[in-house]
A and B are shown apart, each in its own frame.
Chain A
């Protein structure tokens, strides 16, 4: 690990954070260096290639000045100031290696080492320890402190003294966290972990307890361990620790890694860059990459630690087929599986027509893979029957933002949040769903930005350490449009809109029509309060805060889109942003928080049945021409089937075959029974996945998938950033997913000859204007780029609509509130809304197969104490949750996070199947299902519902595997 001792590469620690400011020139050890004003002497020295010894400083944290190892001499100043806390000044002359500072450093180091165990050779941080490095750098050769013979030397590291008496200062290791240990005996109390928890993650779970020699890092209060504390296991403390005090268990077990590959996390839409650190092809740890532009060196528990699913024993590595779904699986060769699938699909097309089969692309696979799957439908199947899981999440974003702004994507980059003054978070729970973004948002909030939360549930952002929402509009589920329109009503009627901006950037006539609409008294907060449950004065105050508070940014999630009026709310949000002049610069904008790692990319790549790559309608002759020339086949001008249409058609007997890559529609799509009926009616269901997921219970062909660690490609995150995914190990299943799709296509006669995803990207660039400039060489050079990337924007586009909206004039659209057909009534008096939590991801296929289950072992139903009492439900009771669609059982958790009349659960566990409950109502424009509103009843229960029992039995039968024939 030479690179840790002499880290010359770009990842070396600069000691203190970068600053922006006017250039200042100074001299350090005779070298002239120019840095921005406000930079520390330590960082300036690092810029000049001079590493000043340090222990308590690291460039992810503000300087602290406690270790006194980084002292320097500055001409004309008295004493030996700490270089980390001393800002540069023009003409300053610094000496980092004078005899005086060298003596001080040696003395400091000697004191540190006198209370540190000398077990370096058997220490997990051996070779990756800054204390070790610094002892070397200062030339420590001797520790003069010897124990008095009668009492022994007070220390923190020896469990017993030489007489065998227990050392009261020694504390045992805390290994309560599943992923890392805290060994107090190795701690040098530099506070880096505590500061990382505060400054970087914003959880404030750690502290230094006691003072002086008694100072100890403490998770939570006395009596807490890491697991019982507020710790969210983001890993920032482990990352910051200079010693083995906080150490990944994987490193303890496997040893320090010897090589690393920069790649992109495959969990949420934040798209964090990570260094995958390995020995050979064995992954040792994932470390957030400090130059990652989405995460800036931060991570969450999923990306940092929950990668064990990649080698989980449940993973299927051999292809399998069966004639009927009541038969056990047979393991076969790749050739046989692909041949079987291709023959069946072609057979179905011959019998039932060209349009009787289709594909579902995956938002977890790469852009290149998604492109190939939709190409399979369009060029090989000869139809447009392609859809993707964005159907069930952000399709209204595509529609709504497309209509108002002209593009289907967020307007900002994540860095933009550092410049925002007022934030609206609506229908999103960033601390759980998009944790790294949440940490960046919380940092800005601690700096003084104001927060407005619009959510039926009191999410953590409403009130958590050092962060409190200025306004929480706890609306009734399903009334987003009414609330957003009421906000606009206040802004327009009180004259708080940015008229100059609207006149310049938007269509004035449309605005006037819109203004007249929202000014109608029936849209006033007073008129809608009864409907939305939001007090009028609170809503008015929120509207004023947003309109007058400076840079206003709106971040939203599936609580906006997954409604019968999802698209309308998206347009309402766009209206609000235009109304207040908040699109087109840093710190503002409309920012959908995308759920999955590549849901943005899968939409960009033409996964929708009506759009070719780049959101261009299949009806357009010019666009079809491009693909006809590129692919040599005619493209069907008729849009294909959406997922719900495929399932309806399957039940009707006209849709017979499906190739479903990396998505578990049975668990994730609404109205599980209907999905199951649709799948059961098909004659060839091909599931291409890592695990035998719930959908695979109805499949005839199972093609084992590869993980993000096993292939080359790109993911596009919520800020339109195209990040490279790099292969760090060979696919355990034998092939990367793009190769498998290609084999299937070729078995159906396609004749594809891709040898690397870069060739697929070249095809994407050649056919799709917003990707025209994207090449792997560019990504290699820039690290990442945000589309549009083309001749006009060769380096990509961090901010959209800067000089004007993509569609020309921004378009205000009237947003009439129409109540959903899903209503509460005497039989179903409560409203169920769904969401997710930090430690689990989506349907849990990955995270349920990691130690993350320690935080969330089952889905629970959150219910208000009032509603619980009415039903005689106590905390932890089994309850039956029933809707018009179905019922399930789960445990109740009584909490006032939800309002009376509202219950909440997550959908991470297949044995709960929250989607048995959800209805098949959907967004009027895009069919995005209305997951967020279901009328339900809750009653005490003894155990699993009939459906759960039948389902469990069916799943067990469907998962039988016969061993491969010898």
Chain B
């Protein structure tokens, strides 16, 4: 919401407060200011000047040398290329060392040898356009002395055309002897058409004495380019552009900023959806009045009325869907004179970010901004049967809205219709078929209250959120429609734009009961932790428009957000100042506090990973369905049963992952593509599986995933990391088994890690084909560990085991066995074969090659044997080893090498 401070001033005088202080105070009391803008901040040293004298430039065929009175003792000389000015004109003058919008710096200069101490400004140079000053539109006459033939060989008009030369039909060349401005934007041109003198009135401002014009003798009309069917390039200087000639109440030397309305300051607010009342000048004025402790000056619109006709005869309104249209208020204006609205109104609209269009349309916008009540004006001519029906659209009904788009409507939408067809989309946009146009005579002003969610859904469905719909969707004050429509009529009379018909059509389908809240100042103070005097709160509430009798607060109709004493507490607190509320710490501790066991385990797992050099990553929970193909999941894999986002940003983020592997592989691949050499990553992230209880909700188990490549990473590196995590979490009794069937992993380099029957996870080298799917040709390694399984497997507090007091005996054994026999089986067999003295088995070599028979391998272990109560003798140790070897030979056919 953009607020003009000039406009605000009409309702409350906050005093000489800078924009910054104003913004701060309003923000602190609850109306957040986004930005403030001084509309004239960029304009410096630009004043009103009067052209005292103008002469043609001695050395140019198109420039003028002007002597300008800028309110100083001496006139200043300025050279301009514009042709639309005349002696006596008031114009904006950018003096030497002045600044214009866009940071343009103007200094003195020299134009073809003539000194120029500044510049005369066009509308555009002041950041304005014709809609701001409609009278500044320039229509250029075709000056024959400016004629440049398209083909130099074949000019349509001779170079030295003489007065009386026939151009075509009755159009002849005429030499201008004198031009007299009438001061109202028109000129009396005296010219000679070859012996005959004419005095012709024209609005073309680019004609001066000694010019040659094309004179239509029959019409007594000086021809424009259009009249001659000429192209712009044929008359390069006869253009619809030039200096902005001021028709304002000003004098030479005046600062240009107030003259063009650039002395306003605009404050842009962020209005929260609960406060649609603040989407208006009056709403914000009320907030400002309370914030600054100044009186709010409101004014009741007064309408004289008296136009011909009786409203009930002219207009009939029906609201067959009262739930969607709680109130419909309308008035009529006759004998409308469509034209530009006055400068002050255009300026305020412009400051509020609204484009001026014509007086009637501007009035509806002005009232919407001032009262926060969207208004609509439509041409009575096109209300067939003098009847307005506010009804649901018919299925398939179409309406061309003001923006020219054809809208297909549905019965969920509300339209304003006449007897036969829709003329507007209620609360969103008017129809093109009833638009206010230049020759509109009778106008209906609509000021209605529509049901918010209906308007919102309509605007959303049609993709046309307008200023009006944005207001309606928040729920507007039902009591505001009447003052607003009266204000519009008052403005019509003020502007002399038409005659208002007496009476109002006002259909009230819903009579609101005022909300009351009990006033409990002490309870409020306790709740806020403050000590605001009751009297202060009463004053604040009264100034905000709340009724207060005894301990009953009556909430004003525009404050539908207030319904409970906590809402009243907010009103009291925000004007007391949130920053004046003391800072206290609540007493009391809860039984549940600190990290819980799961969180402790998560922290521990993360610390273990980082301790091994793995860095933490964060990946998206949603993935592309194509990811499942990339990791080679078979078509019937249960992991493909993902929950789908029905309105995803894109296919790539459209399903909730059931596995973290694609996320990890994507990050590994990205690092690989960035040529990062050694990468170790982990993530403790969720996966998402549909719950089978019909709730639509998900199980969201966490997975600890590890990923790595480079710097010597191999299967055993990844396995070692997994072992370290498991041991770090004091998980006991886990084992690794070859996993050959996981399609994402290398079938010969993949393992399951289990504890009892419970699968803890999978790890290994990523299948080269999968790696290739990610565009990677190096070996990638990954592990996926089910975090809840890890948590359940965690051991408790460790119990001290006494350190050995007697030395151990070690024996190295090298076994020859079948090449396919897993080392794990040998180890397990060794442990079973021992007779209680074996304390450790350490693999130290696996060898195939020379000296070992084909199909066999040699596996070397270091055995550590020890008794807790004595030093072992060699014999004892050898005996144990012998038992081990016997079992190895018997069960696994493996013998000492």
Physical interaction between A and B? no
Q: Which residues of A contact B (CB under 8 A)?
A: none
